[in-house]
């Protein structure tokens, strides 16, 4: 069975470091998607902690609706994950 195709939109630091606006990965969960991101863009290695969780300086939003912290969350085909820098201000 093929894995769902997920689009990762990059903003802020992730976009600057990856030098692309989005990535397409195949992943069944948020954690798998993040692992794919790191595999495709080694400059984003710090996105994931050693335990596989999202590093605190980043945020993930599912389709711009909900922020996601649970890396085991399942993904559906066509989902879009937004990878952002945390903190606003200024």
Instruction: State yes or no: residue 69 binds another protein (CB under 8 A).
Output: yes
Q: Could you say whether residue 57 binds another protein (CB under 8 A)?
A: yes
Instruction: Count the alpha carbons within 13 Å of 14 in the hemisphere toward its beta carbon.
Output: 28
* By the rule CB under 8 A, 90 interacts with another protein: yes
Nearer to another protein, 2 or 66 (CB): 66
**Applying CB under 8 A, does 7 fall inside the site for another protein?**
no
Q: Is there a contact between 14 and 58 (Cβ–Cβ < 8 Å)? A: yes
Residues for the chain: how many in total? 90
2, 42, 50, 56: which one binds another protein (CB under 8 A):
56
Give the C-alpha separation, 2 to 42, whole Å.
24
């Amino acid at each position: 069975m093929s894995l769902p195709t997920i689009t990762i939109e990059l903003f802020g630091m992730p976009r600057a470091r990856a030098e692309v606006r989005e990535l397409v990965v195949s992943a069944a969960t948020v954690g798998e998607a993040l692992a794919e991101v790191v595999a495709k863009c080694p400059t984003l290695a710090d996105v994931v902690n050693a335990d596989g969780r999202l590093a605190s300086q980043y945020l993930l939003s599912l389709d711009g609706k909900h922020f996601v912290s649970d890396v085991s969350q399942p993904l559906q085909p066509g989902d879009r994950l937004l990878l952002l820098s945390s903190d606003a201000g200024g």
